[in-house]
A and B are shown apart, each in its own frame.
Chain A
Amino acid sequence: MALLDVKNLGISFGGLRAVNEFSLEIEKGCLYGLIGPNGAGKTTVFNLLTGVYQPSDGVILLDGENLVGKKTIEINKAGVARTFQNIRLFKELSVLDNVKAGLHNHYPYSTLEGIFRLPRYFKVEKAMDERAMELLSVFDLDKEAATLAANLPYGKQRKLEITRALATRPKLLLLDEPAAGMNPNETKELMETIRFVRDEFDMTILLIEHDMKLVSGICEKLTVLNFGQVLACGNASDVLNDPEVIKAYLGE
């Protein structure tokens, strides 16, 4: 059974059918790409998957559990984490605290235990610190742990966002244009990072991307979206050579 199984997903904003009859099947451990021209509805699909928008019709099954109708935080608890096209970090918090915020639901203690500094506070905070530093060192961010997130260079902010998403222990990681605004070197490093995340964390990844080099370099499977409709899907090399897809991207 596929980890993520989306069937006939659709949403309308007034008279505009933004996404129509969208279906997607992602096997566990797969690196899946979602591509399409500007305004094709890619980010809308992400917003549907994470409960930001409620779909007008269709089902979203994660490991057999229906996600339609759930709120964003419930979907995150069910195992979907995401990054954003325009980076959304907690800018006034330190790098370490950004990751610790991601650990929020997995290292619980009550507010009162926090205020009165009961033994559990120290125990859990210590475990949190250790886990967060472990994650940060995986992404080579451990030296910047005390820096404010806003002061990180752009490429590291992207990495930190991925780290924070992974801290929530997802089954499925959604990356929204991770290479946006990066130079070729940074993009190359990012490709390695994404592949590394898949292998190291045994993660299933769905990513939206415009950078064809990145897509053809790391995605095993692709779905192409155009005007809210699935244009093609299948193995990356087949899809990228599909005349219909080339037409949608480059025009006739």
Chain B
Amino acid sequence: MKKINKTTRSNLITYGMVIAMFVIMQALVSAGRISSLLQGLLVPLCAYIILAVSLNLTVGILGELSLGHAGFMCVGAFTSAFFSKCMAEAIPAAGVRYVIALLIGAASAGICGILIGIPVLRLKGDYLAIVTLAFGEIIKNIVNILFIGRDENGFHFSTKDTLSLGLSMDGEVIVNGPQGITGTPKDSTFAIGMVLILITLFIVLNLIHSRSGRAIMAIRDNRIAAESIGINITKYKLMAFSVSAALAGVAGVIYAHNLATLTAQPKNFGYNMSIMILVFVVLGGIGNIRGSVIAAIVLTLLPELLRGLSDYRMLIYAVVLIAMMLFNWSPKAIAWREQYAAKFRRKKQKEV
């Protein structure tokens, strides 16, 4: 019974941490202590945290290295932005529109996750990583050649240019290939992002500490043994992968509804982004959800906070990366931490 309390407590600490961060940030914003540049980072930060948590589900809990996470974010971003732009007039209530956009973004990314997962999850380790990397790039490139327009005759598709859409005089181009989607309503706010982080944490943490999560972790630890006790490997692998993809889609929705122009570039939806999310996960501790949140916050805000140091900031950023890596993964550091924790515990016991 004591163990259950321990996981619940650990989950509550994670939720509390996110809420505390929100309160502090809001206080700083209203006190005018935060530069506008940093304020502009708050909404993307929410997206990054969700991405880190969702990727940790694949990397830490399912135990498969995926390098295509930005691809799922891209799917979520573009489908939801497409929806919001089309429906901007039909559904004037921003709240309703945003919720539907979220559901559409999550569903389309989740479906993409299933479609990609079916062939890809037969692979393991490095091979899986390479194929997911390729899928991420394919998704980004498909979006870059996609042209979609709308006029009174309905939707027109093309993969060439806007002219070949054959729109009538008062038709409008919605998705303009490499120029992306312009004029998505800017519905994302820091508060909405925070609520979505809490929902993501709720889903991921509860999934991990349930029957399905146990099955997923059993597969991670020993596939052959999991099979021998009657756990359906394909089902649970696909479940973890598609939930992870759907949550990445949610992050995409937040990201898309914060930009005037949404374009798919290597910087935001390419492998640079996938690697950055992976860095959050690895530095926060693989399988450690709270660690992912902290790493995402620190590593997103750090370059901005260090801006005053101009040329040296990337140097410090790199040093912090290395220091965090050492602290989290070096055997000596782990031993030292355990020793310290044991000492602390003994002291506490004495006091009691």
A contact residues vs B (CB 8 Å cutoff) = 50, 52, 72-73, 76-77, 81-82, 84, 88-94, 96-97, 100-102, 104-105, 107-109, 111, 114-117, 121, 124-125, 128, 145-146, 164-165, 167-168
Contact = CB atoms under 8 A, between A and B. Distances in A.
B230 A111 contact: no
B151 to A, nearest CB: 41
B249 to A, nearest CB: 17
Given A89-B222, A93-B218, A104-B215, A115 B206 contact: yes
Interface string B307-319: 0000000000000
A72 B233 CA distance: 11
B229 A117 contact: no
B225 A105 contact: no
A94 B3 contact: yes
Contact of A164 (B207, B217, B224, B229): B229
Interface residues of B, number: 29
Nearest to A82: B228
Nearest to B1: A129
Given A94-B3, A104-B231, A114 B221 contact: no
Contact of B228 (A72, A97, A121, A128): A72
B203 interface: yes
A114 B207 contact: yes
Nearest to A169: B230
A59 B287 CA distance: 44
Contact of B229 (A101, A109, A116, A145): A101
Given A88-B222, A90-B217, A101-B226, 17 more contacts: A72-B228, A73-B227, A76-B227, A76-B228, A89-B225, A92-B217, A92-B220, A94-B3, A97-B217, A100-B214, A101-B229, A102-B229, A107-B211, A115-B207, A117-B206, A164-B225, A165-B229
30 contacts: A73-B233, A76-B227, A77-B230, A82-B228, A88-B222, A89-B225, A90-B217, A91-B222, A92-B220, A93-B214, A93-B218, A94-B3, A96-B3, A100-B214, A101-B214, A101-B215, A104-B215, A109-B211, A114-B206, A114-B207, A114-B211, A115-B206, A115-B207, A116-B206, A117-B206, A121-B210, A146-B3, A164-B229, A165-B228, A167-B229
Contacts of B206: 114-117
Contacts of B221: 89-93
Contacts of A168: 229-230
A108 B206 CA distance: 16
B19 to A, nearest CB: 19
* Chain A CB within 10 A, most for which of B217, B231, B287: B231
Interface of B: 2-3, 202-203, 206-207, 210-215, 217-218, 220-222, 224-233, 239, 287
A23 B231 CA distance: 29
B243 to A, nearest CB: 9
A79 to B, nearest CB: 10
Contacts of B230: 73, 76-77, 104-105, 168
A74 to B, nearest CB: 8
A76 B239 contact: no
B217 A111 contact: no
